[in-house]
């Protein structure tokens, strides 16, 4: 059985996205997801009370950002591109370098990062404990005052609720609606699973992976982010980054850990012939050792397939 049929078998029943915003500001949340959503959009967790998680993870961009790197408190620029906060339930690590093993821990890192929200976790917890709304909400949901642990749990619960599987691709493959996508999308899916080799890294429910790969975006010169190696201190991990999900990828430009590619077409052109764009890469994966030699039609078909992974919930009416 071909790999893409495995993909379909892994797709869970449709989960409707929650309302991203908080509704009645005075209404206490009834569960951890609703509390996490409220916290995600609240600037109380940043040192200057002007930045929230949603300042960088924007709903209109599938909870990613449209900038190569996002500005944090006082306009300070981050070091890496903001990835989508959606479709993370199959992930084993978080952040481009995999520094966080759980969503609960991941949720706390941006709060403390001086380039992002710049607030010690203890200070964030104290703010929540002094806030009557949050004090009552945490007691109601977790049976305790706000703590670092329950803060991480609430934010992680909201992120886990943001799985999508209502794209045109799902309508075609899961619901067997042949008219849901174009013939170009269908050809693109064949390429994705075949000669374009995309499925070697992107597969499963969210077209993601639990591995780290070096796709050639490190050469020790103008491209000098060592990625996973900064965490493991292993020279073999230099240039390796986490493989992210492809769902809603059409909304999350620019791409890669440094945001160096502005469009999906630029990404496809890179994979087609990496040596044309990055010279002297270090430790690049052998999957990229030779040009794919994609035709113009192949490239358009691949892009159309990737666009078909956009959730209907995120398409502007």
Annotate the chain with three-state secondary structure: CCHHHHHHHHCCCCCCCCCCCCCCCCCCCCCHHHHHHHHHCCHHHCCCCCCCHHHHCEHHHCCECCCCCCECHHHCECCCCCCCCCCCCCCCCECCCCCECCHHHHCCHHHHCCCCCCCCHHHHHHHHHHCHHHHHHHHHHHCCCCCHHHHHHHHHHHHHCCCCCCCHHHHHHCCCCHHHCCHHHHHHHHHHHCCCCHHHCCECCCCECCCEECCCCCCCCCCCCCECHHHHCCHHHCCEEECCCCCCHHHCCCECCCCCECCHHHHHHHHHCHHHCCCCCCCCCHHHCCCCCCCHHHHHHHHHHHHCCCCHHHCCC
Are 122 and 184 members of one domain?
Answer: no
- Whether 182 is covered by a domain: the verdict is yes
33 and 107 in a common domain:
yes
The whole-number pLDDT of residue 244 equals 93
pLDDT, tens digit, 9 for 90 and up, residues 38-89: 999 999 999 999 999 999 999 999 999 999 999 999 999 999 999 999 999 9
Whether residue 209 is found in the same domain as residue 83: no
Q: State percent of the chain over pLDDT 70.
A: 92
Mean pLDDT of the region 155-160: 98
Q: What is the number of structural domains in the chain?
A: 2
Is 277 part of a structural domain of the chain? yes
What DSSP line would sit under 42-57, residue for residue?
-GGGSTTS---HHHHS
The pair of structure tokens assigned to 109 is 């890192």
| Same domain membership, residue 175 and residue 152 | no
Decide which of 160, 176, 211 is a domain's last residue.
160
Judge if 180 and 252 occupy the same domain. Answer: yes
Question: Does residue 188 belong to any structural domain of this protein?
Answer: yes
pLDDT digits (tens, 9 = 90+) for 279-301: 999 999 999 999 999 999 999 99
Segment 120-141, tens digit of pLDDT: 999 999 999 999 999 999 999 9
Q: 34 with 128, same domain?
A: yes
Domain residue limits at 189: 3-9+165-314
The two three-digit tokens of residue 36, written as one number: 């996490």
Which of 142, 160, 178 is the last residue in one of the domains? 160
Whether 256 maps to a domain, the answer reads yes
Helix, strand, or coil (residue 221): coil
Q: Look at the block and give the residue holding tokens 């160096």.
A: 260
Provide the pLDDT for residue 16: 38
Please indicate, yes or no, if residue 281 is contained in any of the structural domains: yes
Q: Do residue 181 and residue 306 come from a single domain? A: yes
Looking at the structure, do residues 288 and 214 belong to the same domain, yes or no? yes
Domain end among 160, 178, 201 = 160
Predicted pLDDT of residue 29? 95
Supply the CATH number for residue 132's domain. 1.10.760.10
Per residue in 202-223, pLDDT (tens digit) is 999 999 999 999 999 999 999 9
Note whether residue 70 is domain-resident. yes
Q: Are residues 252 and 234 in the same domain?
A: yes
Q: Is the peptide bond before 71 cis (omega within 30 degrees of 0)?
A: no
pLDDT in tens, 1-49: 344 433 433 333 333 344 554 456 679 999 999 999 999 999 999 999 9
Residue 14 within a domain:
no
What does the pLDDT look like over 169-181, one tens digit per residue? 999 999 999 999 9
Arithmetic mean of pLDDT over the chain: 92
In which band, very low, low, confident or very high, does the pLDDT at 316 lie, cut at 50, 70 and 90? confident
Judgement on whether residues 252 and 217 belong to the same structural domain of the protein:
yes
Q: Is residue 90 part of a domain?
A: yes
Tell whether 198 and 139 lie within a shared domain.
Answer: no
Residues 186 and 57 in one domain: no
């Amino acid at each position: 059985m071909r790999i893409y049929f495995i993909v379909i078998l892994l797709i869970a029943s449709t989960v409707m996205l929650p309302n991203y915003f908080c509704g009645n500001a005075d209404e206490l949340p009834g569960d951890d997801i609703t509390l996490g959503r409220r916290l995600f959009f609240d600037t109380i967790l940043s040192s200057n009370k002007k930045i929230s998680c949603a300042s960088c993870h924007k709903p209109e961009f599938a909870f990613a950002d449209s900038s190569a790197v996002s500005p944090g408190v006082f306009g300070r620029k981050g070091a890496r591109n903001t990835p989508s906060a959606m479709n993370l339930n199959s992930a084993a690590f978080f952040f481009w370098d995999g520094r966080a093993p759980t969503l609960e821990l991941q949720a706390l890192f941006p709060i403390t990062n001086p380039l992002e929200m710049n607030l010690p976790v203890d200070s964030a917890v104290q703010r929540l404990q002094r806030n009557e709304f949050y004090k009552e909400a945490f007691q109601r949901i977790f049976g305790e005052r706000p703590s670092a642990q329950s803060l991480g749990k609430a934010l992680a619960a909201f992120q886990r609720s943001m799985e999508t599987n209502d794209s045109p691709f799902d309508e075609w493959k899961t619901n067997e609606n042949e008219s849901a996508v174009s013939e170009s999308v269908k050809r693109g899916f064949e390429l994705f699973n075949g000669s374009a080799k995309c499925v070697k890294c992107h597969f499963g429910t969210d077209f993601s992976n639990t591995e780290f790969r070096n796709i050639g975006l490190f050469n020790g010169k103008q491209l000098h982010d060592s990625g996973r190696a900064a965490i493991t201190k292993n020279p073999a991990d230099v240039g390796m980054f986490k493989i992210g999900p492809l769902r809603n990828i059409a909304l999350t430009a620019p791409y890669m850990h440094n945001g160096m590619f502005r469009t999906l077409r630029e990404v496809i052109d890179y994979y087609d012939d990496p040596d044309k764009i990055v010279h002297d890469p270090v430790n690049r994966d052998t999957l990229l050792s030779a040009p794919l030699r994609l035709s113009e039609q192949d490239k358009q078909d691949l892009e159309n397939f990737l666009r078909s992974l956009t959730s209907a919930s995120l398409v502007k009416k």
